[in-house]
Amino acid sequence: MGNVVVKGFVHGYDGQNLTIVAPFNQDWLLMKRRVNECEIRLNDGRTISADQRKKIYATMRDISEYTGHTPDQIKALMKYDFIARTGCDYFSLSNVDMTTANEFLNFLIEFCLENDIPTLDSLLERSPDTARYIYACIANKKCCITQKKCQIHHVDAVGQGRNRKDIIHKGMHVLPLFWKLHKEAHDIGKQSFCEKYHVFGIKLDDYLCEIWKVRSK
């Protein structure tokens, strides 16, 4: 499961601090993933763009072809699941706001990663949030470029001769890469690799350390 979207409203602003009120009843998530911070995105009222709509329908088409369900069935099922998980209101892809469109696209992309659904082109190119996408790839052990089974590439230097089982990995920046790309990253260097593929390292947290069975403390 990827990031969870919680819909709320602005309760107050004192010139420095913004107070958000949002209903939340998923205690298991806070305990399992040890969530202690969140990201707030404010809906500015703009409606879905043609590019967003194109990527959403392309991803639903990939899901449809893999599962055997019709595109209309997938559209209905994915929207229902997204609404059930996030608590957002029913929406139409003809005029939904940009924020919800991005969250729905993220949801579809993470569904593909979680269920090994092949896509016609890279999900990295479709993702509206590269950091969230790479995080989801690490969580699902998928290469962020090819979506194949991955290895962890340490963007931060580990040090030669050190036993990686003894290293505290929490807070280290990593990339999930297919083995050939992992080798390429070492061959050409992290800066050249990240510039070539438009990716960057993501910090490992407790949840990711648990998935990869590496030390977090």
Task: Write the pLDDT tens digit of every residue in 39-91.
Answer: 676 655 589 999 999 999 999 999 999 999 999 999 999 999 999 999 999 99
Q: Do 78 and 116 fall into the same domain?
A: yes
| Overall domain count for the chain | 2
Chosen domain end from 124, 158, 186: 124
State the average pLDDT for the chain: 89
Tokens of 50: 């043609």
pLDDT value at position 1? 46
- Over residues 169-188, the pLDDT tens digits come to 999 999 999 999 999 999 99
Q: Do 111 and 149 fall into the same domain?
A: no
Q: Which percentage of the chain shows pLDDT scores above 90?
A: 71
Residue 34: pLDDT band with limits 50, 70, 90: low
pLDDT value at position 198? 97
**Half-sphere exposure of residue 68: CA atoms within 13 angstroms, side-chain side:** 0
- Using the structure block, give the residue that is written with the tokens 């505290």: 168
Whole-number CA gyration radius for the chain: 19
Q: Cα–Cα distance between 130 and 124 in angstroms, integer?
A: 7
- 177 domain residue, yes or no: yes
